[in-house]
Amino acid sequence: MKKVLIIENSREIRENTAEILELNNYQVFVAEKGSAGFDLAKKYLPDIILCDIMRPETDSRAFLSLASGDKVIRDIPYILFSEDSADSQVGKLSENKNNLCLLSKPFEANDLLDAITERLDEKGPW
Amino acid sequence: MPSDILQIEKESYQHLVENVRDFAIFMTDVSGYIISWNKGAEFVKGYTAAEIIGKHISVFYTPEQIAEGVPQMDLQITLEKGQFEDEAWRIRKNGTRFWAHVVFTLLKDSLGNTVGVGKVTRDITRRKKVEDENRRLNDKLKDQLQKSRSEILDYKHALDESSIVAITDQKGIIHHVNDNFCAISKYSREELIGQDHRIINSKYHPKEFIHDLWTTIAKGKIWRGELKNKAKDGTFYWVDTTIVPFLNEKGKPYQYLAIRSDITKRKLAEEQIHEINEDLERKIRERTLELTKSLEREMSLNEMKSRFVSMASHEFRTPLTAILSSISLIERYKMPDQEEKRHKHVERIKSSIRNLTDILDDFLSLDKLEQGKIETQCLHFDLQEFIEDTINQMEGMLKKKNQEILLIYNGPREIKQDKKILRNVLLNLLSNAVKYSPEGKIIQVQVNGDNENVFIAIKDEGIGIPFEAQQHLFSKFFRAGNAVNIQGTGLGLNIVQKYVELLDGNISFSSEENQGSVFTVGFPKEGKG
């Protein structure tokens, strides 16, 4: 079972996303804040991390800077929730741009699932 | 006197007479026939003694004189009076004329008998010429003097006619003023003479200006300038002024002539033009300021717009994402036993839609407030009942976070205010207290009042407002640094403040980060409108 970590500020989105993923046989960990998310990532080493970066001020971004400084975590693929795919700031958020993709809100459940599958497939078979 | 001495003297005298060259000295008999002739006579008249002795004196006269009988008359006068002196033309042997000074003297012997006439003639042509020239020059001078005197008078007349004239001594004491001076200054001549120009000082010109005037003329130089003077009746007039120093032989001024002309009209016109220009400049400045302001408004509007877009984008996307994902989940929960899950997501959708509606309501309220479209409608009502009712409306929100509102009521019962606006204010502040307080906390509402005002304080034990954020708290779209993870448009307090203003009230707060905040709204018991 693949492990997914969700770092999302909005309770409704956090819970709904977790619910969707669980229904699709993922093991899900959730965090409201970036710092807690980083701790969970260290603890459970998820296969993929979903992180909301909607607002520049949110501490989800703090997670990204922590993550990119960590040898293990920084190689985990991300999916970033953003306001739109043209967010120019996203590029600055991760040193390893190859392992991140953007998903703009609001998104369909299928789009999310496809994006996750795609990222995990790219990583290669386990 | 001894006779020999007399004899010697006589001889010497005769010798002297004979040899005088500048004077023709000769004698005639009583009829005018020449009986003696000296060297001088020969020199002056050109005849030798031999040629002339025995001739009548009329040969020396001009034909005109002879025609008039002048020779006889001259002799006759001499005979009658004993002496006759004259200046007249005479003719030399060679026919040339000379101007002669002649003295006829009747000669008598010791017994008193007339023996003849002595005549002394001097050629004074040169002297006469000089005298004539002198006279001519004198006359010319007199003439010129007369002319220039009348010219000066003409000038003076012209000056008096055209200008305002004053003459002062070297100390500035007025010695002379003309009629124009009196007319424009409205002082009489008597009032002016003996005074200095301070009598018409307008105090308009700076000290340096007057100082410069005096240094210029004291150096003997002409000063020109425009002066503002004050007339006796307190009115002001402007004069174009030329002050000409009159210098003594040492080159020092002993008096000053001031020639002025009235330029009041021109100055007034200038002042008017100046005023018009100033007015124009002021208008241009104002207009520029207006444009700058409207530009700033435009810019702040633009900034507002971009902040709005950014805020709206986020605030809309979050509930929309929740809605979309809840719908996806409802689609999956198709089994009858999954009713509870479906219900949860339907509720979540409803709540998200309410959330969107609230945001829209905020926008609409703000728009109405900013356009001044909201008018207050004050009605009498029971304040305590009203507040309790409003608190009850918060129940749903409170339950979710396990919070409680405690009401301490010390206010008046009946007041007259706009209920709708007041409810908006209270709901906004209460939902903030709920939103920014952790679960399980108590929110305190305290109502107080005095004779005129009501005060409602809403106290929470929430996250508080960071000090640096406090001054911006009522700004549109502003979110404090510790609130960015909590949903919100940044419009609530801006709207509350505007609403409170509509109630003729005010809002204040005190807060400490992580301790909580107290918002106090004060407004009159009897609202207008």
Pick the last residue of a domain from B262, B290, B317. B262
Tell me the domains of chain A and their CATH numbers: 3-26+33-121 (3.40.50.2300)
On whether both B232 and B280 belong to a single domain, the answer is no
Q: Which domain holds residue B346?
A: 271-350
Q: Does A2 touch chain B (CB under 8 A)?
A: no
**Domain C-terminal end among B229, B262, B295:** B262
Nearest to B525 by CA among B449, B459, B464, B473: B449
Segment (H or E) for A69: none
User: How many other CB atoms sit within 10 Å of the CB of residue B273?
Assistant: 10
Residues B118 and B179 in one domain: no
Tell me, yes or no, whether B115 lies in a domain: yes
Domain boundary among B228, B245, B262: B262
Whether the CB of A121 is below 8 Å from some CB of chain B: the reply is no
Residues B330-355 have pLDDT tens digits of 999 988 889 999 999 999 999 899 88
DSSP-derived 3-state class of residue B441? coil
CB contact under 8 A, B322 and A12: yes
- Note the pLDDT tens digit of each residue in B486-516: 878 888 999 999 999 999 999 999 999 999 9
- The verdict on B194 and B325 lying in the same domain is no
Q: Report yes or no: A109 at the B interface, CB cutoff 8 Å.
A: yes
B139 exposure class (CB count in 10 Å sphere: 0-12, 13-18, 19+): exposed
- Is the model more confident about B524 or about B297? B524
Residue B67 tokens, joined: 């025609």
In a domain, B355, yes or no: no
Residue of A19, A55, A108 with shortest CB distance to B314: A55
Quick one: B387 and B435 in the same domain? yes
DSSP B98: E
What distance in Å separates the CA atoms of residue A77 and residue A123, rounded to the nearest whole number?
A: 8
Q: Is A22 on the interface with B (CB under 8 A)?
A: no
CB within 8 Å: B484 and A57: yes
The mean per-residue pLDDT over the stretch B217-243 comes to 93
Interface test with chain A among B311, B314, B318, B354, by most A beta carbons within 10 Å? B318
Task: Please check whether residues B257 and B292 belong to one and the same domain.
Answer: no
User: Considering chain B, what percentage of its residues have pLDDT values greater than 90?
Assistant: 61
Q: Is residue B413 part of a domain?
A: yes
E strands of B248-398, at which residues? 253-262, 379-382
Which among A16, A23, A108 has the least Cβ separation from residue B326? A16
Cis? peptide before A106, omega within 30° of 0: yes
- The CA distance from A31 to the nearest CA of chain B, in Å, is 13
A10 chain-B contacts, CB cut-off 8 A: 318, 321-322, 487
Whether B329 and A16 lie within 8 Å, measured CB to CB: yes
Neighbours of B199 (CB within 10 A): 14
- Is the separation of the CB atoms in B62 and B91 below 8 Å? yes
Whether residue B500 sits in one domain with residue B396: yes
Please write the tens of the pLDDT for every residue from B168-224. 998 889 999 999 999 999 999 999 999 988 889 999 999 999 999 999 999 999 999
How close is the nearest chain B Cα to the Cα of A49, in Å?
Answer: 18
pLDDT for residue A125 is more than 50:
no
Mean pLDDT value of segment B68-79: 92
Contact B321 A106 (CB under 8 A): yes
ipTM of the modeled complex:
0.86
* Residue A83 with chain B: CB contacts under 8 Å: 313-314, 317
B134 within some domain:
no
Q: What distance in Å separates the CA atoms of residue B153 and residue B244, rounded to the nearest whole number?
A: 18
Residue of B nearest to A12 (CA): B322
Report the alpha-carbon distance of residue B319 to residue B348 in Å, rounded.
9
At B244 the three-state DSSP class reads strand
Indicate if B404 and B506 belong to the same structural domain.
yes
Q: Are residues B112 and B207 in the same domain?
A: no
> In terms of domains, do B397 and B469 share one?
yes
Residues of B with a Cβ under 8 Å from any A Cβ are 313-314, 317-326, 328-329, 332, 345, 348, 351-352, 481, 484-485, 487
Average pLDDT, chain B: 90
Identify the pLDDT of residue B403. Answer: 94
Q: Is the pLDDT of residue A94 over 80?
A: no
Minimal CA separation from A124 to chain B, in Å: 28
How many folded domains does chain B comprise? 4
Per the CB < 8 A criterion, the answer to whether A69 and A89 are in contact is no
Question: In this model, does residue A124 exceed pLDDT 70?
Answer: no
Q: H/E/C letters for each residue in B469-526? A: HHCCCCCCCCCCHHHCCCCCCCCHHHHHHHHHHHCCCEEEEEEECCCEEEEEEEEECE
Q: B521 with B505: CB under 8 angstroms?
A: yes
Confidence of residue A62 (pLDDT cuts 50, 70, 90): confident
Are B321 and A20 inside 8 Å of each other by CB? no
CB atoms closer than 10 angstroms to residue B511? 21
**Domain containing B449 — which CATH number?**
3.30.565.10
Q: Which residues of B touch A33 (CB under 8 A)?
A: 485
Of B317, B394, B352, B365, nearest to B491 by C-alpha is: B365
- For residue B349, the chain A residue with the least C-alpha distance is A12
Are residues B485 and A13, on separate chains, in Cβ contact within 8 Å? no
* DSSP character string of A19-58: HHHHHTT-EEEEESSHHHHHHHHHHH--SEEEEE--STTS
DSSP string, B392-429: HHTHHHHHHTT-EEEEEE-S-SEEEE-HHHHHHHHHHH
Of A12, A58, A106, the CB nearest to B317: A106
Confidence at residue B255, expressed as pLDDT on a 0 to 100 scale: 93
Four-point Cα dihedral B459, B465, B471, B472, nearest 10: -110
DSSP B269: H
Number of cross-chain residue pairs from A and B with Cβ atoms under 8 Å apart: 67
